[in-house]
Amino acid sequence: MTDNLATERQADIRTGRLSDAEIEQNFTDKCPPLSHAEALIESDRCYFCYDAPCTEACPTEIDIPGFIQQIRSNNIKGSAQTILTENIMGGMCSRVCPTEILCEEVCVRNIHEDKPVSIGLLQRFATDPIIESNTELFSRGEDSGHTVAVVGAGPAGLSCAHRLSMLGHSVVLYNRDQKPGGLNEYGIAAYKAVNDFAQREVEYILSIGGIDVRSGVSLGSDLSFPDLQQQYDAVFLAFGLGGANKLGLPNEDIEGVLSAVDYISDLRQSENKGGLPVGNRVVVIGGGMTAVDIAVQSKRLGAEFVDIVYRRGAKQMGASRHEQELAQTSGVTIRHWAQPTRILLDDRVTGMQFERTELDAEGNLRGTGEHWSLDADIIFTAVGQTFTDEVFGEVAGDFEYQYGKLLVNDNRRTSVARTWAGGDCIFGHDDLTVTAVQDGKLAAIDIDRFLETGQQGDEAWQT
Amino acid sequence: MADLTSEFAGIQSPNPFWLASAPPTDKAYNVNRAFEAGWGGVVWKTLGEDPPVVNVSGPRYSTMFSNERRVIGLNNIELITDRPLQINLDEMRQIKKDWPDRALIASVMLPMNEKTWAKYIPIIEDTGADGFELNFGCPHGMSERGMGAAVGQVPEYIQMATEWAKKYARVPVIVKLTPNVTNILPVAHAAANGGADAVSLINTVNSIMRVNYDTLTMYPTTDGMGSHGGYCGAAVKPIALHMVAEIARNAETANVPISGIGGIGDWRDAVDFLALGASNVQVCTAAMVYGFKIIDDLTSGLSDFIDAKNLHTVSALVGKAVPSVTDWQHLNLNYVEKAVIDQDLCIKCGRCHIVCEDTSHQAITHTVKGERCFEVIDEECVGCNLCVSICPVDGCISMQQLTSGVDPRTGRDVQAEKATWTTHPNNPMAK
Ligand SMILES: Cc1cc2nc3c(=O)[nH]c(=O)nc-3n(C[C@H](O)[C@H](O)[C@H](O)COP(=O)(O)OP(=O)(O)OC[C@H]3O[C@@H](n4cnc5c(N)ncnc54)[C@H](O)[C@@H]3O)c2cc1C
Ligand SMILES: Cc1cc2nc3c(=O)[nH]c(=O)nc-3n(C[C@H](O)[C@H](O)[C@H](O)COP(=O)(O)O)c2cc1C
Ligand code: SF4
């Protein structure tokens, strides 16, 4: 097949496809908060299970029946305390957690009546007023004299810093981006965290004190890992994932092929969403949460045709069923079992050619040789991000890795002395805000144990 | 369709559901609406001497809610009628004329001297009322003036006032009892001795609803001060049922017809009262919470139930459960039950485990072969019924009798013959 497969059509990329009012409407809260009355009624549905399955399913182990009972008794502050003690980002998590595959999936109400307690919405109900009013629930512990370096101010880094401060340690928090928050600020879909919630939550977390944030400072270019090791009593690495994966096709750098993560970051930072260039025909390659997010947001910015193309089936998609449904009800077409084979172009992108896929007898994915194509003004790649060890420079070889990510033990210790890691940059972490928060918390608790007892990294690594 | 017609102490009504003396029966307007809706009778809001009493112009009611704001209990500080006697009498006369097939009962509360009773009873009876109900139950306000519960708590006063009422009335006299006594039998007996044709119970229970969490005063208040009220609604039903059953099963009072009152909201509540010895029932709170329309469920539900049980009439249901009520000392100590959990219905909330573990007999597992699983351990189960009582799934846990073999808890054979505390070797008073 040849390039003239591309149809003769003008690229249609414009700003201002929708009116400001339409944009505003499209980017309001995806799940509006519960009213007081709704929260009371919903909290009454909790059975207060023993050894509750929901708590076990929560990566941060929030005492869910406990906080819901506190809502029932109108003890909202106590409820927030229960949540935030285990998960200082309980506010953001209540908005972005895929609860349908976490706490709400195992709610016993599913067996009883096929409708779980709305745990996420109740969690938001309890925590919103605390962040809103900046009510102090946690205070800095008595100064231990220790200082810990945290690299990366995303969910993992902030969670670790906050817990370290509670435990009395001082923290220097280095962050590459100008704003702290990590992907909460630059990645999460705009309609999941409206009204600048990410920054308000960061302010709340930092208000505990004892955390010195240094923005615009990158490990690797502005400071080296050996320097950190030398200057601080312990180091926590939480710099997330660096580069976006490529499709591995010729002409991938041509105009019109964009990384979804970069575009979402622009979208999240833009003051005027209507000013973003939006294609009329958008094709998204990938099957995860990022693919859904870019597809839905493109639609909400006014793209007319948005297709997600994923090389396997609906079951294998990284995006949960709930997310897939969100895409479909937003008018996005999801096409399964097709892999990109060629970028169609003239002086810029005009479309994409795909090959049908199937599983062979051994269950491996293979192309069938049958091709089809889609017109496109924009192609978004959303095929994952990779860990880059460049930040470590010469000492990169000191760390142990698994599948290209940092290897840590249960307490989030790396193989390098006095160094812990968490969040997207470690192996075994499932790329969610909530797991990043748990990593930070566990690491802080272990760092504290280490600083108080002096237990050395090597022997601890073995445990 | 079962026959719901009712005769209570000689008073006829098309069904056994009366509205109790209270705001729903305060005036002709309400009573007309009640009869249009299908209620069998009304006990008019309690009449008193002129000049009438004065109610507060602040809150009279407060409620205990479930989270969904379902009313569980209602507290009130309303007094008897605050309208002039003549207006009430005129309206009652008209109502009886317009609704001859419905029961109209005059509730009265009068001071403790015979002259007053001699004066008022005939005037009130002249309205055409089918009977009297003597209010010896109101626990607030009126009791401070030596009436209501102040009379109802002293058997001698009950008897005396009942005798006066009987002396001047030709229609049947029902004595309404207060639950604010430690034993209902002496007061019920006193009513019978005074010649009462029937008793009705319960009136409201002394209560304070709660405090106001902002002001730290009791709640509600009138200008910052509050007074205890009377508690009613679903929450008081078990108290009422016990008192009704006591009167029904006690030889000295067993023949006195009982009008059952307290927490009746649906037909099943009515079945409770009827089976435990009441001949008809009265409703107040449920009507005040949902309006008169609840009569449809009360009548159709009761009718279907009587049909399903092949009983044909309401009176055939009356007292059915009374023989099953006894003293603790007569319970069979040889009878053994064990809880059984239906694994297909179990939703694995674990509540049965934790309540048995923390507060009962450690007789329910939480893990079986490494899986979350709740099973009864017969070696520990004492058959207390707590797990059944708290399980959120209807029918998931049941109690099953052990009819033979060895009780794995005690290691003793299950005995077929009955044995009670009266003959138990641990009982120092055993016969
Ligand atoms: C588009 C998108 C949508 C998502 N949606 C959801 C969702 O709905 N729900 C959900 O649970 N999860 C979602 N996730 C995943 C979630 O955002 C991440 O798992 C989580 O943010 C990981 O946290 P982290 O702290 O490890 O890293 P990040 O959030 O990536 O933060 C890393 C931080 O490190 C800093 N940094 C990077 N390199 C350096 C360096 N060399 N030196 C110093 N600082 C550095 C960055 O500035 C950044 O602040 C989404 C992810 C993406 C990309
Ligand atoms: C199963 C059970 C057994 C009880 N046994 C006793 C007892 O032996 N002695 C006692 O003084 N009170 C006993 N009580 C009453 C309680 O102490 C308490 O006064 C009552 O339950 C009211 O409180 P609550 O409803 O707030 O729990 C018992 C209550 C229950 C439910
Ligand atoms: S009946 Fe009582 S003792 Fe037996 S399992 Fe249930 S709660 Fe435990």
User: What is the distance in A from the centroid of ligand 3 to the CA of B375?
Assistant: 10
User: What is the distance in A from the centroid of ligand 3 to the CA of B339?
Assistant: 6
Q: For residue A217, which ligand has an atom nearest its CA?
A: 1
Among B66, B67, B354, select the one facing A50 at the smallest CB separation: B354
Per-residue pLDDT tens over the stretch B353-406: 999 999 999 999 999 999 999 999 999 999 999 999 999 999 999 999 999 999
| Chain B residue with Cα closest to A110 | B347
Q: For residue B340, which ligand has an atom nearest its CA?
A: 3
> A398-412 burial string, b = 16+ CB within 10 Å, else e?
ebebeeebbbbeebb
- Is the predicted pLDDT of residue A4 greater than 80, yes or no? no
Q: Which two tokens stand for residue B285?
A: 């709170």
- Is the predicted pLDDT of residue A3 greater than 50, yes or no? no
Among A48, A50, A72, select the one facing B366 at the smallest CB separation: A50
- As a whole number, the mean pLDDT across chain A is 93
Cβ of A188 less than 6 Å from ligand 1? yes
Determine the longest span between alpha carbons in chain A, in angstroms: 71
Q: Which two tokens stand for residue A55?
A: 């708590």
| Chain B residue with Cα closest to A71 | B67
Report how far residue B46's alpha carbon sits from residue B33's, in angstroms, rounded to the nearest whole number: 19
Per-residue pLDDT tens over the stretch B36-46: 999 999 999 99
Q: Is residue B40 a contact partner of residue B103, using CB atoms and an 8 Å limit?
A: yes
Annotated catalytic residue B352: no
Which domains are seen in chain A, by residue range?
A: 13-28+244-381 (3.50.50.60), 36-133 (1.10.1060.10), 147-242+387-461 (3.50.50.60)
Residue among B352, B354, B361 whose CB has most ligand 3 atoms within 8 A, to mutate: B361
pLDDT at B420: 96
Nearest in space to B417 (alpha carbons), one of B319, B334, B352: B334
Report how far residue B302's alpha carbon sits from residue B4's, in angstroms, rounded to the nearest whole number: 8
Partner residues linked to A431 by β-bridges: none
Q: Which is more confident, A279 or A429?
A: A279
| Chain A residue with Cα closest to B349 | A49
Cβ of A323 less than 6 Å from ligand 1? no
Cβ of A431 less than 6 Å from ligand 1? yes
Report how far residue B41's alpha carbon sits from residue B24's, in angstroms, rounded to the nearest whole number: 12
Q: What is the mean pLDDT of residues A278-306?
A: 96
Report how many Cβ contacts below 8 Å link chain A to chain B: 41
Report how far residue A415's alpha carbon sits from residue A405's, in angstroms, rounded to the nearest whole number: 12
Q: What is the mean pLDDT of residues B176-181?
A: 96
Q: What is the mean pLDDT of residues A308-314?
A: 96
Question: How sure is the predictor about B265, in pLDDT bands with cuts at 50, 70 and 90?
Answer: very high
What is the DSSP code string of B284-342?
SHHHHHH-GGGHHHHHHHHHHHHHHTT--BHHHHTTTTGGG---GGGS-TT--EEEEE-
pLDDT at A455: 66
Task: Give the residue from A36, A50, A105, A110 with the most B CB atoms within 10 Å of its CB, the best one to mutate.
Answer: A50
- Is the predicted pLDDT of residue A304 greater than 80, yes or no? yes
Which of A25-29, A151-155, B94-98 has the lowest average pLDDT? A25-29
Cβ within 8 Å, pair A50-B348 = no
Cβ within 8 Å, pair B349-A51 = no
Question: How sure is the predictor about A31, in pLDDT bands with cuts at 50, 70 and 90?
Answer: confident
Cβ within 8 Å, pair A41-B68 = yes
Q: What residues in A contact B347, CB-CB < 8 Å?
A: 47, 108-109, 111-112
Question: How sure is the predictor about A462, in pLDDT bands with cuts at 50, 70 and 90?
Answer: very low
- Is the predicted pLDDT of residue A458 greater than 60, yes or no? no
- Is the predicted pLDDT of residue B318 greater than 90, yes or no? yes
Q: Which two tokens stand for residue A229?
A: 């090791």
User: What is the distance in A from the centroid of ligand 3 to the CA of B331?
Assistant: 19
Q: What residues in A contact B392, CB-CB < 8 Å?
A: 47, 112
Task: Give the residue from B70, B347, B351 with the most A CB atoms within 10 Å of its CB, the best one to mutate.
Answer: B347
Give SS3 for A184. Answer: helix
Cβ of A440 less than 6 Å from ligand 1? no
In this structure, which long-range contacts are made by residues B181-189, counting pairs with CB atoms below 8 Å and at least 24 apart in sequence?
B181/B152, B181/B153, B184/B243, B184/B246, B184/B247, B185/B246, B185/B247, B185/B250, B185/B252, B185/B253, B186/B155, B187/B136, B187/B152, B187/B153, B187/B155, B187/B158, B188/B246, B188/B247, B188/B250, B188/B253, B188/B256, B189/B155, B189/B252, B189/B253
Cβ of A261 less than 6 Å from ligand 1? yes
- Is the predicted pLDDT of residue A6 greater than 50, yes or no? no
Q: What is the mean pLDDT of residues B218-247?
A: 96
Among B66, B67, B349, select the one facing A108 at the smallest CB separation: B349
Residues 365-424 of B with CB under 8 A from A: 366, 372, 392-393
Per-residue pLDDT tens over the stretch A38-91: 999 899 999 999 999 999 999 999 999 999 999 998 899 999 999 999 999 999
Per-residue pLDDT tens over the stretch A375-412: 999 999 999 999 989 999 999 999 999 999 999 999 99
Cβ of A293 less than 6 Å from ligand 1? yes
Q: What is the CA radius of gyration of chain B?
A: 25
Among B66, B67, B353, select the one facing A50 at the smallest CB separation: B353
- Is the predicted pLDDT of residue B223 greater than 50, yes or no? yes
pLDDT at A456: 54
Confidence (pTM) = 0.85
Say if strands A378-381 and A333-335 run parallel, antiparallel, or are unpaired. unpaired
Q: What is the mean pLDDT of residues B220-229?
A: 94
- Is the predicted pLDDT of residue A95 greater than 50, yes or no? yes
pLDDT at A189: 94
- Is the predicted pLDDT of residue A1 greater than 60, yes or no? no
- Is the predicted pLDDT of residue A192 greater than 70, yes or no? yes
Question: How sure is the predictor about B263, in pLDDT bands with cuts at 50, 70 and 90?
Answer: very high
At residue A460, what is the residue type? Answer: A
Cβ of A320 less than 6 Å from ligand 1? no
Cβ within 8 Å, pair A47-B353 = no
CA dihedral of A394, A397, A400, A401, whole degrees rounded to 10 = 80
Cβ within 8 Å, pair B67-A108 = no
| Chain B residue with Cα closest to A46 | B349
Nearest in space to A430 (alpha carbons), one of A309, A320, A292: A320
Look at the block and give the residue holding tokens 């609406």.
B33
Contact with chain A for residue B348, Cβ under 8 A: yes
Cβ of A291 less than 6 Å from ligand 1? no
Name which residue sits closest to atom 3 of ligand 3, judged by CA. Answer: B381
Cβ of A154 less than 6 Å from ligand 1? yes
Cβ within 8 Å, pair B348-A53 = yes
Question: How sure is the predictor about B149, in pLDDT bands with cuts at 50, 70 and 90?
Answer: confident
Per-residue pLDDT tens over the stretch B61-71: 999 998 778 89
Q: What residues in A contact B372, CB-CB < 8 Å?
A: 51, 53
User: What is the distance in A from the centroid of ligand 3 to the CA of A47?
Assistant: 19
Q: What residues in A contact B66, CB-CB < 8 Å?
A: 44
* CB neighbours of residue A310 within 10 Å: 26
Task: Pick left, alpha or beta for residue B291 (phi over 0 → left; psi -120 to 50 → alpha; otherwise beta).
Answer: left
pLDDT at A2: 40
